[in-house]
Amino acid sequence: MAQMTEQEILAGIGKIVNEITGVPASEVTPEKNFVDDLDIDSLSMVEIAVAAQDEFGVEIPDDQLKHLKTVKDVINFIQS
Amino acid sequence: MKTIQGAPGAKILAFGHYQPSKVVTNADLSATMDTNDEWIQSRVGIKERRIATAGESEIDLAVQAGGKALAASGLSAGDIDLVIVATCTLEAQIPNAAARVATRLGIEAPGAFDVNTACSGFCYALALANDAVRAGSAVNVLVVGTEKLSQWIDWTDRSTAVIFADGAGAAVVGPSDTPRIGPVVWGSAGDKADAIMIKDRDSFLRQEGQTVFRWATTALHPVAKEICERAGVDPADLAAFVPHQANLRIIEAIARRLGADKAVIAKDIVLAGNTSAASIPLALSRMVERGEVQSGGLVLLLGFGAGLTYAGQVVEVP
C-alpha cells in the first residue's frame, strides 16, 4: 500500500477530531496543540487515538499518546 | 452421593439502598484542591457525592441497604440462608463483611462470604446468588454491594478524590418458576492489573485514568451485547441499562454502541459519584424508587473495574 501523504493524514485526523470533539476540521492544522489550542482533554485524546487506530491501522498506546502534543506529532507518529 | 434439586429459576424480590447523609459538592472540593466544577463535570460527570462520617463504616452502610431490601421483599430474616457482600474497601481484611452484616440484620447462621472484584463485584455476587438458588445451595439470598472508598482516597489527589464516594445497594434473590435473572457473562484482563490499585496497606487508591477509559470504551460494548444474546433479549427491548457508574463519558460511550433505544440509561453518578461495587444496586434501586422502570421491565447490568474484571447479566425488575 502506498504511503499516505501528510495532507491525507491531516484530513483524516481533522475528521476524527471533529467527530469526537466537535472542533471544526479546518482548525485542525499541524502546528496546533491539542490541549492548549484545541481545548481537547486527555479522555478525548484516548478516543482520538482509538479512532486513529481504526482509520490508519497504527496503534497509539497510552505511554506514547502522552508525548503527542501537537497535530504534527500525531502525523509523524502515523508516518513513522 | 446424593444431590439436591434447586429452583427452576431465580428472581430479584426487592431492592434497597443507602447513602450517607453528608453531601460533598464540587465547590467543596475546589476549596481544598486545585480543581473546579466545570473540570469535574466535563471529565467525569459528577456534581456531588456522598461521604460517610468517621463513625459510619462500610458495614453500617451495608446493614442499612440490606435491611431495606429485606423489608421490601416481604421475607423475614429467618428466610435468608445466604448473604453475599461485594466490597473492595473493607477497613480490615479479617473478618469478612457478610457474616457481620447478617448478624446485624438478625439473619441467623447463613452462609456468608464476600466477593472482591472491585467495581464489578455486585454482578459477580448476583450471578453467584442466582446459581446458588438454582443449584439448591440456598433458597433466599441477600446480595449487598457496599463501599467506603473515602477511607482509601488521598484527599489531596485530585485525580481520584473528585471521582470516588461511599454508598450501598442491595437485592434479595429468591426462587422462581421461570428464570428472571439471565446468564452471567464475566471475564478479566489481569495484564492491566496495575491500572487501578491500592499498592499496600499504607497506600491510597490510584488509577491510570486513560488506560481504564480506553479499555472501558473499547472492550465492554461487545460484552454488553453478548450478555443480551445469552439472555435471548434484544437490546431494543431493554427497559433500562445500568452500567457501573464509573464516569459519565464511559456510560454514554457504551450506551451509544449498545442500540438500547428505549432504555433509560442510569446516570446516578451525577449525584452519587463512583461507589464501586455499590454503584449498580444503588443506581437501580433509586431508578425503581423513582418509577423510571416498571415491574417486569428488563434491565441490563454491566459491572467493570479493578483487576481488571467485568461481569453482567439481564435482570427482570420485581
Give the whole-angstrom CA distance, residue A17 versus residue B200.
Answer: 40
Same domain, B193 and B168: no
Same domain, B109 and B213: no
Same domain, B155 and B238: no
Same domain, B198 and B299: yes
For residue B3, being part of any structural domain is answered with no
Query: Which of B176, B209, B240 is a domain's end point?
Result: B176
CB B266, CB B242: distance < 8 Å = yes
CB B301, CB B112: distance < 8 Å = no
For residue B1, being part of any structural domain is answered with no
pTM for this one?
A: 0.94
Query: Which of B146, B176, B206 is a domain's end point?
Result: B176
CA distance B116 to chain A (A): 27
Domain range enclosing B15: 9-176
CA distance B191 to chain A (A): 14
Same domain, B283 and B209: yes
Which of B209, B217, B253 faces A42 most closely, judged by CB atoms? B209
Give the pLDDT score at A2.
56
Residues of B in contact with A62 (CB under 8 A): 208, 210-211, 214
Q: Region of B19 please: left (phi>0), alpha (psi -120 to 50) or beta.
A: beta
- Bridge partners, B141 (sequence order): B82, B173
Cβ of A65 within 8 Å of Cβ of B210? The answer is yes
Tell me the H-state helices in chain B. 26-30, 37-43, 58-73, 97-104, 121-135, 158-161, 209-231, 248-258, 269-272, 279-289
Same domain, B57 and B140: yes
Same domain, B164 and B202: no
Q: What's the domain count of chain B?
A: 2
Interface test with A, best of B39, B214, B249 (most A CBs within 10 A): B214
**Main-chain dihedrals φ then ψ at residue B78, nearest 5 degrees:** -70, -15
CB B85, CB B98: distance < 8 Å = yes
Give the whole-angstrom CA distance, residue A48 versus residue A58.
Answer: 12
**Residue B295 in contact with partner chain A when CB distance is under 8 A:** no
**Residue pointed to by grid coordinates 496503534:** A59
ipTM: 0.84
Same domain, B156 and B16: yes
Give the active site residue among A41, A54, A63, A73. Answer: A41
Give the whole-angstrom CA distance, residue B65 versus residue B256.
Answer: 31
CB B141, CB B132: distance < 8 Å = yes
For residue B29, being part of any structural domain is answered with yes
In this model, does residue B172 exceed pLDDT 70? yes
For residue B2, being part of any structural domain is answered with no
Bridging pattern class, strands B111-115 and B82-86 = parallel
Can you give the three-state secondary structure of chain A, one letter per residue? Answer: CCCCCHHHHHHHHHHHHHHHHCCCHHHCCCCCECCCCCCCCHHHHHHHHHHHHHHHCCCCCHHHHCCCCEHHHHHHHHHC
Give the pLDDT score at A3.
74
Q: Regarding the domain delimited by A6-79, which CATH topology (the fold level of the hierarchy) does it fall under?
A: 1.10.1200
Cβ of A62 within 8 Å of Cβ of B214? The answer is yes
Query: Which of B176, B202, B227 is a domain's end point?
Result: B176
pLDDT tens digit string along A42-58? 899 999 999 999 899 99
Same domain, B133 and B227: no
Using 50, 70 and 90 to split pLDDT, how confident is the model at A1? very low
**Residue pointed to by grid coordinates 466477593:** B115
For residue B218, being part of any structural domain is answered with yes
Same domain, B208 and B152: no
For residue B193, being part of any structural domain is answered with yes
Cβ of B209 within 8 Å of Cβ of A62? The answer is no
Residue extents of the structural domains in chain A: 6-79
Same domain, B31 and B111: yes
pLDDT tens digit string along B84-141? 999 999 999 999 999 999 999 999 999 999 999 999 999 999 999 999 999 999 999 9
CA distance A44 to chain B (A): 9
